[in-house]
Structure 1
């Protein structure tokens, strides 16, 4: 929305609008056609209108906890401001240009992931890498042999890495290189994997991170918090959206011009497009798509969807495009997403545990 449209919708002055922006109530992004002008997030404006209408009764607040509303929890792990993602106050996009998974582990959870080529792991059964990651997390959760204290997080990360790569030993190479070599023979995929892991590390209080915090608030062990988060992540509205995006965009590219337009209009929220947090394109998507060749027809579909629905590609789109471009096995994008996000889940669990508060909402009827 333009400034004029926002002011008319909220019946406020330009000065009040700017005050809302400075306090984070309304997000602003520069217009692509004119960087001197701003557009304002429609979702934020709608939320302010809804707040005014419903007041602040307990029932109204409870109802607002769903769909990108409250609760709002204080966190120092990551935040999104003016369409940019930050980890511990550092620009995540800039971090992804040079940093590794190990660097972000040090930043978010203060863990040094030193190589340990002598450590042995049991092989995990599973049809694909994501299933093996899931199974390994469940195994650690019920095991009594997890190392205590600061070694726990390092052990969990290495155990899941071994499960994903279907091996019982790890090399002394950087983690992104081990993953890239397992999934692809392409040298170009090595750096793309590094960038992918960094960009996926955390994203405010997304559903899986919030689930990890709920588990941690009950004093559940870290592996149990990760298992809870991973279960949430597996849903089709979260991590599994990557596979859905690959299928849907792939289908769309197979249509002729007339069929393509009709196909796109059959669904208002195509998988891989739109994100309520961002007024325009997900910055993680923009950055990742710069570093590999977008599959034939995918850019055309992206433009068509954006023109039809005014929604833009999100992280699921870029991960699905990555899978297609490098001819990767199914679930690879979802697995890399989850493994990168592992750092965020651990960080949120630890932060909530230090907070000491039990997360226990009330219901209403």
Structure 2
């Protein structure tokens, strides 16, 4: 019997036509096994296993029915830049408040807007629902039940006209901000949110900037989930609930929590933190991105605002250590993790900011989807079960 042949990470990436970091994603999902034969250093993968995965991928991508192509005029990601309706997100951040950017995404109009505020009855319902959860519940758990409770007290939630949808969305966003805000806080969204997330001297502009940068990111998985819900003509609260369900995982909204833990290790020993991830075949949290080639513009903006914080020393060492890997650059998850460390925020604050901001984008996509034919997402599957 011939001896098993092994491939390096680069060879696997070429054979599967993917990026090297995607190979490590396959490892973390249990699709590939990182094997060491003792004869070579670095990650090695059995050729037979790689070929099985390649065959499985070809079979999985055989046509299985009609899949709707989504045309959208909301967000463009091109040449390592993020645009909201033709405006660079990095230029909007720090210049316009989240209310103005929300209106831009919702209607295409950019201008001053009143602050998000929710009615007292909606906030009372959201707080009561949140208070019923156990103490260890995450902030996003509280957000999920708050959205359902807020929708239940909005009698006009079934009106799907664009202005009715944005009215409900504004009330909900104001309610969610005040749900996490300190009772005595007032002012802008950032000013109200800060005391609920950090006891450090307030820098509300950081939260405002993060919310703008995170407001939308094209057809991310949570946005597709929201659009599928909107295609059934679900009300906007139900659409937002669908999006919140889809972000609850380490590959999407919760990625900043993984970056937070990695950055905590890196503060003690950056090089070892990286080496441990590479040795285990795991991707390095907070670095690289499937849609950006050399830089995540959102991370660049937010990290630049944190330049005066000690955590930047750790980020700089990580960058230098990974300097010969152009595909491993800081992404928005690392920037959120740095923000949390810099101001002693809860470990799930980044996930919360992500979810709160993305409500704006989901609403924009819902409005767009309501104008399309209903129930247009109905893929036909290829049955692979037992014969009848």
RMSD: 3.1
8 Å Cα contact 1:282/1:312 also seen in 2: yes
Distance (whole Å) between structure 2 residues aligned to residue 261 and residue 192 of structure 1? 27
Partner of 1:25: none
Deviations 1:3-40 (A, max 9, x none): xxxxxx9xxxxxxxxxxxxxxxxxxxxxxxxxxxxxxx
Partner of 2:144: 134
TM-score (norm 2): 0.70
Q: In the TM superposition, what are the counterparts of 1:1-365 in structure 2 within 5 Å?
A: 60-62=62-64, 72-110=69-107, 112-114=113-115, 119-120=120-121, 121-122=123-124, 123=127, 124-125=130-131, 126=133, 127-143=137-153, 145=155, 149-150=164-165, 151-165=167-181, 171=186, 173-187=187-201, 189-255=203-269, 257=271, 259-260=272-273, 262-265=275-278, 266-292=280-306, 293=309, 295=311, 296-307=313-324, 310-357=327-374, 358-364=376-382
Task: Sort the Cα spacing of 1:306 and 1:338 in 2 relative to 1 into closer, same or farther, 3 A.
Answer: farther
Distance (whole Å) between structure 1 residues aligned to residue 192 and residue 60 of structure 2? 50
Q: CA deviation at 1:188?
A: 5.3
Q: CA deviation at 1:184?
A: 2.5
Deviations 1:312-360 (A, max 9, x none): 1111010011100111122111111111111001111111111124212
Task: Sort the Cα spacing of 1:306 and 1:234 in 2 relative to 1 into closer, same or farther, 3 A.
Answer: farther
Which protein shows a greater Rg? 2
Q: CA deviation at 1:195?
A: 0.6
**Secondary structure of the corresponding residue to residue 218 of structure 2:** coil
Gaps of 5+ in 2: 1-13, 15-57, 384-388
Partner of 1:26: none
Distance (whole Å) between structure 1 residues aligned to residue 351 and residue 60 of structure 2? 38
Deviations 1:40-85 (A, max 9, x none): xxxxxxxxxxxxxxxx99963559x9xxxx8642111111111111
TM-score (norm 1): 0.74
Distance (whole Å) between structure 2 residues aligned to residue 62 and residue 117 of structure 1? 45
Distance (whole Å) between structure 2 residues aligned to residue 187 and residue 61 of structure 1? 56
Aligned residue pairs: how many? 305
Task: Sort the Cα spacing of 1:163 and 1:353 in 2 relative to 1 into closer, same or farther, 3 A.
Answer: same
